[in-house]
């Protein structure tokens, strides 16, 4: 910090950083991030004429958030997420000042972080999904049958990957024409989701022709999806299964595809096919329809295509 920083602010910050290092045991990397954020804040306070933590106001904190977002002090502007991290650093220090009696209350408590842009879920095309599923099932032995069944189930039901690998054999009903799975979602809330014919056939093939061989290497587990040691397949392994299949399929952006991509694609493709958003909400296990409605947002290209095809005077 520069020489113009008031001694009381500098001393208080040094005490807080020592607290983070000694009592909370933060790593040097994390501690360095706190130091950079807060030294910039203290310099901002000094420029505003503050000399002691007790003089800091909510307006000072809000002005600092604006400063880091705009780069008004000559530094590169920060994204909304980075500015939110900076605000969290400031809140931590000012709470420390409050506990130490340097403040009667934290001036950062009521300051809201910048609104972060709402990101649309990433979905892939039905053709890309089909290529990934075909790639997952290519090869000999029990693993391709397991991998195809796992990914078919995730795409067919919209299951979270934790829900899929958490399935037990008794959670699966392969009745022809009424196939379904019982999924245990967030908050241990159960829901029963129908399963399409492709997923039903893939799961039936796996359970009959592959799972017994995998189970023979373990000690007996009710899990549907097993690893090569006969134990329940992990979320990390399921992620690897999908990533490897996407790479073999030659799908563009394979390195960014995750199990959640199939869940997003499940919802997007249902809505594109005319499904009601409330039904999709139930299938996904969303507590609020607001969460599901993000899938109904369309891209500019899709909007233009719809406009051109529907408006009577869109084309000459």
- CATH assignment of the domain containing 38: 1.10.150
Is 122 a catalytic site residue? no
Residues 135, 47, single domain; the answer is no
Residue 122 buriedness (CB in 10 A; 0-12 / 13-18 / 19+): middle
CATH number at residue 171: 1.10.443.10
- The pLDDT, as a whole number, for residue 302 is 55
Active-site option among 24, 36, 75, 186: 186
Could you list the residue range(s) of the whole structural domain that residue 142 is in? Answer: 126-261
Kindly state whether residues 160 and 248 are assigned to the same domain: yes
pLDDT of the residue at 151? 97
Q: Considering 44, 50, 160, 264, which one is annotated as catalytic?
A: 160
| Catalytic option among 131, 263, 264, 269 | 263
pLDDT at 13 over 50: yes
Residue 134 shares a structural domain with residue 252:
yes
Residues 171 and 214 reside in one and the same domain:
yes
Residue after which a domain boundary falls, among 240, 261, 282: 261
The reply to whether 267 falls in a domain is no
Catalytic residue, candidates 85, 95, 122, 260: 260
Do 72 and 187 share a structural domain?
Answer: no
* Co-location of 146 and 219 in the same domain: yes
Q: What are phi and psi of 273, to 5 degrees?
A: -85, 0
295 domain-assigned: no
Residue 114: pLDDT over 90: no
Q: What pLDDT, in 10s, does the model give residues 123-134?
A: 899 999 999 999
Q: Say whether 29 is catalytic.
A: no
Determine, yes or no, domain membership for 269: no
- What is the domain count for the chain? 2
Please compute the mean of the pLDDT values over residues 14-37 and round it to a whole number. 88
Mean pLDDT for all residues in the chain: 88
pTM: 0.60
Question: Where is pLDDT greater, at 48 or 116?
Answer: 48
Residue 49 lies in a domain: yes
Q: From CA 11, how far away is CA 46, in angstroms rounded? A: 13
Q: Decide: residue 7, CB within 10 A, 0-12 exposed, 13-18 middle, 19+ buried.
A: exposed
Based on the fold, state whether residues 167 and 241 are members of the same structural domain.
yes
Which of 237, 261, 285 is the endpoint of a domain? Answer: 261
Which tens digits make up the pLDDT trace of 74-101?
Answer: 899 988 888 888 999 999 999 999 999 9
pLDDT of 3 reads 46
Are the beta carbons of 168 and 222 closer than 8 angstroms?
A: yes
Among 99, 115, 146, give the residue marking a domain's end: 99
Query: Which residue in the list 69, 91, 182, 286 is annotated as catalytic?
Result: 286
How far apart CA 100 and CA 30 sit, in angstroms, is 23
Any catalytic annotation for residue 311?
no
If DSSP codes are grouped into helix, strand and coil, which group holds residue 271? helix
The pLDDT value given to residue 95: 92
Q: What is the pLDDT of residue 194?
A: 93
Identify whether 189 is a catalytic site residue: no
Judgement on whether residues 84 and 135 belong to the same structural domain of the protein: no
Q: Which tokens sit at 263? A: 């869940």
pLDDT in tens, 251-289: 988 888 988 889 989 988 988 888 888 888 888 888 777
């Amino acid at each position: 910090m520069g020489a113009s920083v008031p001694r009381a602010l500098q001393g208080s910050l040094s005490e807080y950083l020592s607290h983070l290092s000694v009592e909370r045991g933060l790593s040097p990397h994390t501690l360095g991030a706190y130091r950079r954020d807060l030294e910039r804040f203290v310099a901002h306070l000094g420029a505003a004429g503050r000399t002691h933590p007790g003089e800091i106001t909510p307006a000072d904190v809000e002005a600092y958030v604006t400063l880091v977002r705009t780069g008004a002090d000559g530094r590169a502007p920060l994204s909304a997420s980075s500015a939110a991290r900076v605000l969290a650093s400031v809140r931590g220090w000012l709470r420390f000042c409050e506990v130490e009696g340097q403040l009667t209350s934290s001036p950062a408590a009521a300051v809201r972080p910048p609104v972060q842009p709402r990101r649309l879920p990433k979905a892939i095309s039905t053709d890309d999904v089909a290529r990934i599923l075909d790639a997952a099932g290519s090869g000999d032995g029990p693993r391709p049958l397991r991998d195809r069944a796992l990914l078919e189930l995730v795409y067919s039901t919209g299951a979270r990957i934790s829900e899929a690998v958490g399935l037990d054999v008794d959670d699966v009903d392969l009745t022809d024409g009424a196939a379904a799975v019982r999924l245990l979602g967030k908050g241990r809330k159960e829901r029963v989701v129908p399963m399409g014919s492709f997923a039903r056939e893939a799961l039936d093939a796996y359970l009959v022709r592959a799972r017994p061989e995998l189970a023979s290497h373990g000690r007996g587990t009710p899990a549907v999806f097993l690893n090569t040691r006969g134990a329940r397949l992990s979320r990390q392994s399921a992620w690897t299964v999908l990533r490897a299949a996407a790479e073999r399929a030659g799908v563009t952006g394979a390195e960014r595809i995750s199990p959640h991509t199939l869940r997003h694609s499940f919802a997007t493709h249902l809505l594109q096919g005319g499904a009601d958003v409330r039904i999709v909400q139930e299938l996904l296990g969303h507590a609020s329809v607001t969460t599901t409605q993000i899938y109904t947002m369309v891209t500019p290209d899709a909007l233009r295509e719809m406009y051109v095809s529907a408006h009577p005077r869109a084309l000459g």
